[in-house]
């Protein structure tokens, strides 16, 4: 007589919810420190996108960032270099709206976004060994943050 063994696989979804929640917490800085009259009065380059574009772009990017972190976590179930970088990019990501819109420190925001871009590239390279998909999910973030850094620099130059 043969025995059938039924294995219950632990659901991976609760950990994905945690990663989405961490990213949502980061995104809350964009809500707490929104552009106000100060930002409207700044000189901006002609290639500055309309304000309405930022929320949908960041929503998609934040979802990709959450999934990328989760995928790396699923591979090892421990915090390694890639996840340290993932958490670091969350911190720099949260700090930028605080520095730029909250403190009106375009210069410090520029330093922050340069560090953010550096950490994003470091994550892309370090996560690749664990999950190529996680790395590729960060490429749009790298492109957008690179554009945002150029925009931050231009605004800094136009508003001494």
Domains of the chain: 14-32+49-158 (1.20.1260.100)
| Residue 83 · residue 129 · CB < 8 Å | no
Task: Identify whether the C-beta of residue 89 lies closer than 8 Å to the C-beta of residue 123.
Answer: yes
Q: What percent of the chain has pLDDT over 70?
A: 90
pTM: 0.86
4: its two tokens? 């059938």
Mean pLDDT of 61-67: 97
Average pLDDT over residues 5-25: 74
- Report the alpha-carbon distance of residue 160 to residue 32 in Å, rounded: 25
User: Which residue has better confidence, 76 or 104?
Assistant: 104
């Amino acid at each position: 007589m043969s025995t059938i063994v039924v294995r219950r696989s632990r659901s991976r979804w609760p950990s994905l919810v945690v990663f989405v929640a961490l990213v949502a917490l980061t995104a809350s800085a964009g809500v707490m420190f929104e552009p106000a009259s100060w930002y409207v009065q700044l000189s901006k380059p002609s290639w500055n996108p309309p304000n309405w574009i930022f929320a949908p772009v960041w929503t998609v990017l934040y979802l990709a960032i959450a999934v990328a972190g989760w995928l790396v976590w699923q591979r090892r179930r421990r915090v390694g270099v890639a996840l340290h970088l993932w958490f670091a990019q969350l911190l720099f990501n949260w700090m930028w709206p605080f520095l730029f819109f909250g403190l009106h420190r375009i210069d410090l925001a520029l330093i922050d976004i340069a560090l953010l871009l550096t950490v994003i590239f470091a994550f892309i390279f370090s996560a690749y060994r664990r999950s190529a998909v996680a790395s590729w999910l960060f490429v749009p973030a790298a492109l957008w943050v690179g554009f945002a850094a150029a925009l931050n620099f231009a605004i800094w130059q136009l508003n001494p």
